[in-house]
A and B are shown apart, each in its own frame.
Chain A
Amino acid sequence: MCKKTIVLGVIGSDCHAVGNKILDKFYSDAGFNVINLGVMVSQDEFIDSAIETGAEAILVSSLYGHGEIDCMGFRERCTERGLEDIVLHVGGNLVVGKMDKARIVEKFKEMGYDRVYTPDVDLQICLEELRADLKC
């Protein structure tokens, strides 16, 4: 089992707590040391926590439609604060309205996220890809 530390949270002013708790349980059961910051987490809170806990990945959720604005500049901020090698995953209802899935993935990859997930994804795939990214 991979015991690496990961930071989890719902970004911005988003209060959706249920999915966050499911992800916490899912990744903990898979062996990860999950630092769950809960809802309404700012970019700096993710980064602060990753620095102190020595986390190797940050998993960002967003459900309320403002994900694009909240997630912008996160990769740059990580680099600026010394987390240049951190793995970034993002998932949820990332944009408002109907946008093509491929377009969403492309948009967030451009922003520097290593993996981008839409609501229809199988969590098992997320887990396998996280393990691949962390080489564990």
Chain B
Amino acid sequence: MLISIDIGSTWTKGALFTVREGKLVVENRETTATTTDDLSIGFREILGRLRLTAYGETPVLCSSSAHGGLKITAIGIVPDLTLESARLAALSAGGKLTKAYSYRLNSTDIREIEASQPDIVLLTGGTDGGNRSYILHNAELLSKSNLDCTILYGGNRDLQDDVRNILIRKKLLIAANVLPDLNNPSPQEARDVIRETFMSTIIQGKGLQSIVELTGSAPVPTPAAVFDYVTHLDREKTFEGDFSFIDMGGATTDYYSAVSPVSTDKVIRKGIKEPRIKRSVEGDLGMRVSALSAMESDRMTLEAEAESRGLNLDDFLDYLKKVSTMTEYIPVDAEEKRFDALLAGFCTANATTRHGGTRREIYTTSGSAFVETGRNLKNIKTIIGTGGYLAALDDDPFRHYPVPAVTIEGEEILSPAEYRYFRDHRYLIPLLANAARLYPKEAAASLKPNLTEIKD
């Protein structure tokens, strides 16, 4: 038996699992409101309830995404190269990107970073043997700042000693370069260091220390657990072909995908190589706290959609304003449900567009070919909706709000073409992801039986 507890920003969820015939079977499932001032209160309550039905020595695994997780500021040189690699490392570690800076920092940037109080500053730049000047400049400015958080250097390897000397008075950690050469992003080591830092620094305060005493280990960031879970599911070939998770919450929409590279002579790839597993986080797309920022991200389109559905625009805007301050609000009538459905469709479609890439057709002397930028999601055969709203929604959000076929510039959007949509109706994914730390195979085998397919 094992107990898995996930402390979310709104709800603390837990499950008691038994291991039976290679699967994890849910014996008990409990939920309570997250106690934000002292997270251990809600945690203890769930633990107490689950222990009533447990017997013997039961290991307890805990993940937490309360307070938005680990705040990371990423610094790189070129936005599409080292900064993008730094973003990949930060997001795959389960972090929350507060801000990203390219090229040379200035004193205003430094003040902004100081004010945002990140847990980690990830300083990158240059391939191995590559650029020196930007990195030395940025390290100098960081050394003169008031920052007392961890600074993780994951840039040009040649400069590790220089950076160590410049940042001698800071809490400096060094990882392998996130982009050692242009063709091979390598965010793994930086990601692992970020996770270790999360474990050792984030647990101070908010009652997390007493959770460590109860469970024997620090809670892992929920997105990091889910990221690893996607990796296990991919390794175990749980789904046929590529698959993705959309985790839409009140504040953010997370998109995880496992995508195998498609290479033919007819495709010319641009930009850095896409990793097999990727997480992207849309901090402006969400059902409650981010309802207004979601609208602001593309007001014209959303208003046009609302009108085409015969919704009253003023009422819709009032609704978005209302729910953005009431994080636990549940719609009371049919109209409010339609507002929520529109917002949900808008968020999932946009999260998909941003996670995925684009391509355009060109004509060459040897026939037509495609120039492809970003991630190709066309071969995704399975999409799983999770997070409070999508777990409860007995529908496929894309059916009512399809991802647009082309961008404003006329490029084809590489979104899933033919797929099956499932919902995580018991909202088990974070709990299974957590349990996968002890039972990766069993947790991977237990997902499918707990999903509900939405059929036409």
CB within 8 Å of A: which of B319-342? none
Q: Complex: how many Å from CA A48 to CA B127?
A: 12
B182 with A13: CB separation less than 8 A:
no
List residues of chain B with CB within 8 A of the CB of A33.
129
Contact string against B for A residues 72-98, beta-carbon threshold 8 Å, 1 for contact and 0 otherwise:
000000000000000000000000000
Question: A52 touching B179 by the CB < 8 A rule?
Answer: yes
In the complex with contacts A15-B365, A40-B371, A49-B182, A54-B268 CB distance below 8 A? no
* Cβ A48 vs Cβ B80 within 8 A: yes
Does B304 interact with chain A (Cβ within 8 Å)? no
Q: Are A52 and B362 in contact, with the CB atoms below 8 A?
A: no
Indicate with 1 or 0, residue by residue over A38-76, a CB within 8 angstroms of chain B CB atoms: 111000010011011111000000001000000000000
Q: Name the residue of chain A whose CB is nearest to the CB of B265.
A: A17
What interface size band does chain B fall in? 20 to 34
One of B126, B366, B371 near A52 (C-beta < 8 A): B126
A5: chain B residues at CB < 8 Å are 129-130
CB neighbours of B366 from chain A (8 A): 15
A52 touches B268 (CB 8 A): no
Q: How far is the CA of A48 from the CA of B76 in the complex (A)?
A: 12
Determine whether A111 belongs to the interface, using a CB cutoff of 8 Å to chain B: no
B131-162 CB mask vs A (1 if < 8 Å, else 0) is 11010000000000000000000000000000
Report the minimal beta-carbon distance from B348 to chain A, rounded to whole angstroms.
32
Total interface residues on A, CB under 8 Å, equals 18
Which residues in A have their C-beta under 8 angstroms from that of B130? 5, 52-55
Residues of B within 8 A of A23 (CB): none
The answer to the question of B33 belonging to the interface, with a C-beta cut-off of 8 Å to chain A, is no
- B104 vs chain A, min Cβ distance (A): 9
Q: Which residues of B contact A55 (CB under 8 A)?
A: 130
Q: Which residues of A1-54 have CB atoms within 8 Å of chain B's CB atoms?
A: 5, 13, 15-16, 33, 35, 38-40, 45, 48-49, 51-54
Task: With a 10 A CB-CB cut-off, give which of A16, A39, A48 has the most chain B CB atoms.
Answer: A48
User: Which of these, A39, A48, A64, contacts B268 with CB under 8 Å?
Assistant: A39
Task: Say yes or no for B454: interface residue by CB 8 A criterion.
Answer: no
Whole-angstrom CA separation of A17 from B131 in the bound complex: 28
Given contacts A40-B371, A48-B80, are A54 and B131 in contact (CB under 8 A)? yes
Contact digits for B340-377, partner A, Cβ 8 Å, 1 yes 0 no: 00000000000000000000001011100101000000
Q: Considering the chains assembled together, what is the distance between the CA atoms of A54 and B132 in angstroms?
A: 7
Which of B127, B129, B132, B362 gathers the greatest number of chain A CB atoms within 10 Å? B127
A52→B365 contact, CB < 8 A: no
Bound-state Cα–Cα, A51 to B365, Å: 32
Among A35, A38, A48, A54, point to the contact of B78 (Cβ < 8 A).
A48
Bound-state Cα–Cα, A38 to B129, Å = 21
Residue contact A52 to B369, C-beta cutoff 8 Å: no
Q: In the assembled complex, which residues on chain B have CB atoms less than 8 Å from the CB atom of A13? A: 362
How far is A55 from B371 in the complex, measured between Cα atoms in Å?
A: 25
Check A52/B82 contact, CB under 8 A, given A13-B362, A15-B268, A39-B268: yes
A52:B127 contact, CB within 8 angstroms: yes
- Chain A residues with Cβ below 8 Å from B270 are 40, 45
B81 in complex: contacting residue of A16, A38, A49, A64, CB < 8 Å: A49
28 contacts between A and B (CB under 8 A): A5-B129, A13-B362, A15-B268, A15-B365, A15-B369, A16-B365, A38-B268, A39-B268, A40-B270, A40-B362, A48-B78, A49-B81, A49-B182, A51-B131, A52-B78, A52-B126, A52-B179, A52-B182, A53-B126, A53-B129, A53-B182, A54-B126, A54-B127, A54-B129, A54-B130, A54-B131, A54-B132, A64-B365
- Chain B contacts to A: CB under 8 angstroms: 77-78, 80-82, 125-127, 129-132, 134, 179, 181-182, 268, 270, 362, 364-366, 369, 371
New contact pairs (15) apart from A52-B77, A53-B126, A54-B130, CB-CB < 8 Å: A13-B362, A15-B362, A15-B365, A16-B365, A35-B182, A40-B268, A40-B371, A52-B78, A52-B81, A52-B125, A52-B179, A53-B129, A53-B131, A53-B182, A54-B129
